């Protein structure tokens, strides 16, 4: 006899149940009929034994039928339960297979994590060695005997800023102006939007700047490349730290005159910062500014202008329209426009920058004098000599009042004394009688002595010295040779005093 399947057993059981229910109904009908007949026979006093016997047989049959129906119901319940158990078994088997797969995956992940942990520990050890090396080199640079290359005093740049200057060369002897690059250390201060330059990169930046300023590119470039390679291995290429390192290496290439390589690096850094920090982050503005300055240095003013304008918009959005960094960006944008002959825009940008500096930093801030010098240079290139002369005189008057007090008939700024000398030209003998020879052998007018002798204590800031030379050049254009000579002599004295100060600082640091 072949074994029946579970489904066949259930179907046969249902058929049996239906048959038993039919048989039960028939037995009930017969039993009711017998009971009626038995009541009739009893009323007629007949013999009921046979009927009672049949009735008893039917009752036993009904009991057996009820028992069969009960067993059938139990079998149906068991069949349903078996179906549920089978379904649960299939689910459990599927879960077991999934857990086995997950277990294998977790084992692989554990092995990979252990490998990465081991690699990270090796990197930490390497970085610790590099940190110790950088700290050592940072200490050693204090004792480096190579002197830092001297910057041209004529450039109207801030000597207290970073050594690597991205300004382009001036094409006019009067009023040199430079573009101001944004260095990585300055970016760290501006990047308050969630990203800050790590301290180790700032330390590396300072070390690279030190080497580059000494012309030791054979040390600075490999140092940058090694740091960049390590950062890409640990953090991946698309990381803000990698962008910062690209900026630093670009500055070194720019200082070497490798403008194409520097531009490629800055474009790469710009893409990374836009992707990781967002298009309106201060660090993006810094990279845009550096790229614009680089293009300007190569004479690509049209390509540089939109970059500079975008950097300006970002700084205005993040820092506010009256922030000093916005004024710095306006100065850069003005110079780019000036090199394209857009003098109307140039004047607007310089005037707005000047207003910001005077409002936020005060009239004595060096940036005020610088911006006035730059605006005066723009006036000169348009032939607006009176406006330029007025600005130069404002710078010198402010410097005089800061040093000697309010201007009056007995306390006149150097330009007033120079013009008085021009107006009161004397014979050669008389002129000699009012001259004096300084300790350095420089011949100076006696009435300029007070101003120039003050330089013994401290030199003028580079901006004031530049203003002296610019105004003297303007006087020469106007044929005021005596006045021009007076200002040139004071500028010469300031430069010599500045050189002595630099030598003293250099000697003290050795």
Domain holding 313: CATH number?
1.25.40.10
Mean pLDDT value of segment 394-417:
86
The whole-number pLDDT of residue 178 equals: 47
Q: Is the pLDDT of residue 404 over 70?
A: yes
Indicate the pLDDT class of residue 499, thresholds 50, 70 and 90.
low
- Co-location of 112 and 212 in the same domain: no
Q: Same domain for 24 and 75?
A: yes
- Does 69 share its domain with 52? yes
- d(C-alpha 85, C-alpha 189), whole Å: 68
Is residue 148 included in any domain, yes or no?
A: no
Q: Tell me, yes or no, whether 272 and 343 share the same domain.
A: no
Residue 151 contacts residue 165 (beta carbons within 8 Å): yes
Q: Is there a domain that residue 24 lies in?
A: yes
Instruction: Check pLDDT > 60 for residue 496.
Output: yes
End residue of a domain, out of 380, 409, 439: 380
Say if 203 falls within a structural domain. Answer: yes
- The proportion of the chain whose per-residue pLDDT surpasses 90, expressed as a percent, equals 32
Task: State the pTM of this model.
Answer: 0.59
CA 331 vs CA 33, 140, 221, 250, 368: distances in Å? 121, 37, 31, 22, 11
How does the average pLDDT of the chain come out, rounded? 78
pLDDT of residue 136: 53
Kindly state whether residue 370 falls inside one of the protein's structural domains.
Answer: yes
pLDDT band at 392 (very low <50, low <70, confident <90, very high): very high
Q: At 147, is the pLDDT very low, low, confident or very high (cuts 50, 70, 90)?
A: very low
Residue numbers of the domain that contains 271: 198-277
In 3D space, the residue among 183, 191, 138, 142 whose CA is nearest the CA of residue 164 turns out to be: 183
> Does 165 reside within a domain?
no
pLDDT band at 132 (very low <50, low <70, confident <90, very high): low
Interstrand relation of 443-445 and 435-437 (parallel, antiparallel or unpaired) = antiparallel
- Clarify whether residues 402 and 375 are in a common domain: no
The answer to whether residue 134 scores a pLDDT higher than 90 is no
- What confidence score (pLDDT) does residue 368 get? 93
Whether residues 363 and 254 fall in one domain = no
Q: Are 353 and 330 in contact (CB under 8 A)?
A: yes
The per-residue DSSP string of 464-490 comes to: HHHHHHHHHHHHHHTT-HHHHHHHHHH
The whole-number pLDDT of residue 181 equals 57
Among 52-66, 271-285, 423-437, the least confident range: 423-437
* pLDDT of 161 above 50: no
CATH code for the domain in which residue 43 is found: 1.10.287
**Residue reference for tokens 């149940």:** 17
Kindly state whether residues 37 and 95 are assigned to the same domain. Answer: yes
Taking residue 127's Cβ as centre, other Cβ atoms within 10 Å add up to: 13
* Count of domains observed in the chain: 4
158 inside domain = no
- Residue 179, in any domain of the structure: no
């Amino acid at each position: 006899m072949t074994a029946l399947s579970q489904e066949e057993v259930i179907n046969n059981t249902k058929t049996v149940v239906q048959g038993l229910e039919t048989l039960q109904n028939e037995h009930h009908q017969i039993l009711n009929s017998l009971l009626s007949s038995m009541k009739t026979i009893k009323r007629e006093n007949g013999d009921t034994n046979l009927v009672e016997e049949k009735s008893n047989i039917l009752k036993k049959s009904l009991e057996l039928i009820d028992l069969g129906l009960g067993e059938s119901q139990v079998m149906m319940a068991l069949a349903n339960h078996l179906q549920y158990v089978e379904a649960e078994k299939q689910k459990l088997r599927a879960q077991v297979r999934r857990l086995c797969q997950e277990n294998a995956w977790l084992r692989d992940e554990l092995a990979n994590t252990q490998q990465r942990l081991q690699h990270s520990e090796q990197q930490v050890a390497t970085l610790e060695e590099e940190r110790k090396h950088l700290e050592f080199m940072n200490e050693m640079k204090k004792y480096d005997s190579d002197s830092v290359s001297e910057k041209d005093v004529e450039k109207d740049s801030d000597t207290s800023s970073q050594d690597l200057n991205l300004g382009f060369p001036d094409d006019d002897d009067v009023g040199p102006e430079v573009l101001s690059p944004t260095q990585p250390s300055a970016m760290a201060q501006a990047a308050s939007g969630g990203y800050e330059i790590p301290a180790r990169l700032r330390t590396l930046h300072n070390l690279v700047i030190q080497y580059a300023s000494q012309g030791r590119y054979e040390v600075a470039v490999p140092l940058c490349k090694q740091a960049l390679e390590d950062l890409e291995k640990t953090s991946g290429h698309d990381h803000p730290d990698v962008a910062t390192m690209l900026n630093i290496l670009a500055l070194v290439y720019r200082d070497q005159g490798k403008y194409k390589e520097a531009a490629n690096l800055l474009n790469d850094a710009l893409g990374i910062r836009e992707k990781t920090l967002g298009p309106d982050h201060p660090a993006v503005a810094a990279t845009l500014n550096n790229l614009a300055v680089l293009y300007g240095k190569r004479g690509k003013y049209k390509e540089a202008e939109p970059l500079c304008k975008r950097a300006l918009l970002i700084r205005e959005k993040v820092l506010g329209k009256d922030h000093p960094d916005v004024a710095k960006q306006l100065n850069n944008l003005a110079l780019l426009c000036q090199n394209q002959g857009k003098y109307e825009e140039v004047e607007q940008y310089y005037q707005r920058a000047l207003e910001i500096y005077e409002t936020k930093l005060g009239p004595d801030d060096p940036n005020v004098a610088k911006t006035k010098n730059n605006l005066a240079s723009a006036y000169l290139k348009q032939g607006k000599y009176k406006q330029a002369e007025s600005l130069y005189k404002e710078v010198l008057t402010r410097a005089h009042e800061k040093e000697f007090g309010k201007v009056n008939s007995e306390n006149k700024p150097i330009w007033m004394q120079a013009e008085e000398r021009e107006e009161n030209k004397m014979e050669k003998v008389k002129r000699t009688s009012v001259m004096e020879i300084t300790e350095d052998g420089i011949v100076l007018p006696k009435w300029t002595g007070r101003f120039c002798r003050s330089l013994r204590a401290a030199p003028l800031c580079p901006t004031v010295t530049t203003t002296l030379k610019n105004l003297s050049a303007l006087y020469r254009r106007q044929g005021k040779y005596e006045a021009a000579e007076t200002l040139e002599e004071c500028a010469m004295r300031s430069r010599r005093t500045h050189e002595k100060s630099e030598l003293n600082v250099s000697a003290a640091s050795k």
